[in-house]
Amino acid sequence: MFNLSRWILYPVLFIVGLASMAIAMAAVVLILTYPNLPSLEILTDYRPKIPLRVYTSEGHLIGEFGEERRAVVRIQDVPDIMKQAILAAEDERFYQHSGVDAQGVVRAMLSNLLGGGKRQGASTITQQVAKNFFLSSEKTYTRKLYEALLSFKIENNLSKDQIFELYINQIFLGQRAYGFGAAAQIYFGKPLKDLSIAEAAMLAGLPKAPSAFNPVVNPKRASLRQQYVLRRMHELGFIDARQHEAALKQALVVKRETNEYAVHAEFVAEMARQIAAERFPEDVYTRGLRIYTTIFKNDQEAAYSSLRRGVLDYDRRHGYRGAEAYVEMSDIKTEQDEALDELLQDFHDSEDLHPALVLQADAKQIRAYRRGGEIVTISGDGLKFAARMIDDKAPPNKRLRRGAVIRVQTDEKNNWRITQMPEVEAAFLSADPQNGAIRSLVGGFDFNRNKFNHATQAWRQPGSSFKPFIYSGALEKGFTPASIIRDEPISISASVTGSQAWEPKNYDGKYEGPMRMRTALAKSKNMVSIRLLQASGVNFIQDYITRFGFDAEKHPPYLTMALGAGSVTPWQMVTAYAVFANSGYLIQPYVVRDIQNEKGQVLAAAQPVTAGDDSLRAIDPRNAYVMDSMLRDVTIYGTAARASATLKRRDLAGKTGTTNEHVDAWFCGYQRTVVGCSWIGFDQPRNLGNGETGGTAALPTWIGYMARVLKDVPESFMPQPEGLVALEIAGSGKGPAKELFYKENVPTEMEPEAPQDQNDKPLD
C-alpha cells in the first residue's frame, strides 16, 4: 500500500534538516564573525574631515579647501522636509527595522526575479552608514554579510537619530559635497533650513547615483529622479496633493557659476590658504581650521566689480576679436541635443560672461545655445560689437558661424549681447593706511582662468606713479613746492650713459619752460622729474625710496629711475602710498587677521603695529603733509582731475602712471581712511594702445571702488604738523597764492605769514 505520509514526511524532514544546517552554519559564522567586527568608536566619536575655510573680516565665507566639502549639522537642525525626502528616497521603514529591512529585501528579490531589467537593491540607511565608514564598495556576498552584521551592531549601540545624523553628514552627493548641509550650499546656495520641498527632493535623489543625478551635469536625469522622490513623498503622506503639484511646478535655480561664495575673493582665499599651509602643514585641510582675513565684504565687492568693469570697458574700446573657438557640430540634429552641453564642457562661465554655441548666424540675428538648454537670440544693438565678424569677408578663423563659441551677456535692459573674454589683465588692492590691514584685493580678471596674483606677484614698471617718491626725496634735499625747475628737453650723451645717447621726452611731447615743482607733479612732467633726481643725487634717492618699502636693487641708480623704470608690485605701491596717507609711517600690509580651530580658539593672530608708533617713522611728517597737498592737486587739476570731479570731494590724493610704449597703466592714491592701487596691462607686456594712460585705463577702477567705500565717509584732511609755514608767493596769472615751506627752508626774501590752523581744511 502506497504510504503517502512517508513521501511527504521525508522531503519535509530533508528541508528542515537543510534549514537547520544553514541556521547552524549561520550561527557559527555569527559567533565567529560578530566579535571580530570593527569597533564603532569611529561612529561614537565622529570626527569628519572638515575642510579649511576662509572668511571675510565679518565672517562671510570666501573659500574652502579640502578633498571633502562638508558642513556638519546636528539632527535637530535638519528640517523635517529634508528628513522626509531622504526617507522617501532611501529607506521609508528606517524607524521600523533593526538595520536590515526584511520586507525591502524580499521586495527587491521579487523585483529582480520577475522584472528582468535593472537590478534593485535594498540597502537601508544603516547599511549605507556601515558601508561608508567600514567597508569597500565591492559587490560580494561576504561584504554583504559583513554589512548586515555591522548594521545590527550599529543599531544595538546607537539611536536611530544618531545613525540618521551620521548618514546626513557623511554621504557623498557629488560636486565634492559630503553631507546634505554642504550639498544645499553648493547646489542651491542656501542652508538646509531654507530649502523648499522641490529642492529637498532634488538633493534626496542624489545618494543613489551622485554623478548620474547631478543637477549641474545632468539636469534632465536629475529632474526625473526628483519627480520620483516627490511621488514617493506624496504616497507616504509626507506632503499632500497641493504641495506635490506645487513642487513639481517649481523651477529650480541650480548654482552653475564657478564662484560659490558670498563674494568674489578667490585671490585672497588662496593667499590665506598658503599662509595656513605653511603654519600648519600636517592636517591643514582636514581639521576644520577657520581663517579670518582682513577684507570687508563691501570693499571686496566694490573692488571686484570695479576692476571687471574697467577691464571690459578697455576691452570694448579695442574691438571684437572674433570667435573664441570652434567645435564640430555635424552630428548635432536638434537644438536640444544633449551633446551640445558636452561641446561646451571646456568653456566655463566667467561671472556674467557666458559661453554659448552659435547655431545659426546672419547679419540680422544670431541664435546660440547656452549650457543647460537655453537658446538665446541676439539681434539689433546686441550684434553691433561683433558686426564685422558676422560678415562673409571676416577672417575664416574668426568669423561667427555655426559651431563658433562666443560669449554672451545681458545688458541693462536684460537683452542679450555679444561680448568676449578680455586678454588684458588687471589688479586692484586697498588697505587701511593706519595699520596695513588689506581691505580688498583682486589679483586678476578671473581667478579660474589665471591664478597668477598680479597684486602681489607682478613686477612691473611703475612709470609716473613712482614720481612722488622722487619728489619726496627732493624735499629732503631742500627743494620746495615753489621751487622753479625747467621743463625743457634733456640730452645725455653716450659718453655719460656708457651705451647710447638718451633723449627722454614728456608724454605729450610738449615743454612749458620753467615751472614750479607743485605744477610739474600735477602735470607729470618727465623733464622736471629727471632734473630733480639729478639735483638730489641718484644714489641718495635710491637709498631714500627704501623708506617706503621699495627694494633698492629693483631701482638701479640711473636717471631713468625718475621715469619709474624700476620694478614694483601693486602691493608695494599700496605700502608706499600709505606713508603719505598716514603722515609718514611705514606700515606692513597683512591679509590674515587670525586662524582659529574648529572650536573657535585662536591659534595664530596678526600683530600689526599702527601708524603713530615711532619705530615705524619713515619720513618727516612735514614731508608727508607737503606731498599730500601736492598729490591732492593731481586729483583736482592734474592728470587725475577726473577723480575729484567724479567723486565730488577734495580730500583725494594720488598719481597716475603710464610706462614707456603704454605697456603698463597705473593709478595709486588715497583718502585718509583708505589707500588703493589700480594696475592694468598684459601678462606678456605689450602696448595697451594709444591714449591708454593711467588716467584712462587704471583710474576708472580706483574711482569705482572709492565711490562705493567713501559714500558715507565725510571729507577729512591731514592736520598740519609743526615746523611748516605758509607764505604768499606770486601766483601764475591768478594773483598771490599760498605755498608751504619747511621752517628752515623759508626763502630769505620772504617774510613768513603767521601760520593758520589748517586742520581739516585743504590748502588752496
Catalytic positions, written as ranges: 90, 464
Q: Which helix (H) or strand (E) holds 425?
A: strand 425-431
Cα–Cα distance for residue pair 653/706, rounded to 1 Å:
12
Q: With beta carbons less than 8 A apart as the criterion, state whether 429 and 570 touch.
A: yes
Instruction: Return the C-alpha cell found at 674.
Output: 583708505
- Report which of 167, 683, 70, 734 is spatially closest to residue 426, judged by C-alpha positions: 683
Q: How many CB atoms lie within 10 A of CB 95?
A: 11
**Distance from chain centroid for Cα 721:** 41
* DSSP assignments along 24-82, one per residue: HHHHHHHHHHGGGSPPTHHHHT----BPEEEE-TTS-EEEEESSSEE----GGGS-HHH
Cα–Cα distance for residue pair 603/46, rounded to 1 Å:
23
User: At 194, is the secondary structure helix, strand, or coil?
Assistant: helix
Q: How many CB atoms lie within 10 A of CB 114?
A: 8
Q: Cα-Cα-Cα-Cα dihedral of 368, 370, 372, 373, to 10°?
A: -10
Cα–Cα distance for residue pair 3/281, rounded to 1 Å:
83
Q: Which helix (H) or strand (E) holds 485?
A: strand 484-487
Cα–Cα distance for residue pair 11/15, rounded to 1 Å:
6
Instruction: Return the C-alpha cell found at 443.
Output: 589679483
User: At 662, is the secondary structure helix, strand, or coil?
Assistant: helix
Name residue, grid cell 538633493. 203
Q: Which helix (H) or strand (E) holds 519?
A: helix 517-523
Cα–Cα distance for residue pair 197/230, rounded to 1 Å:
8
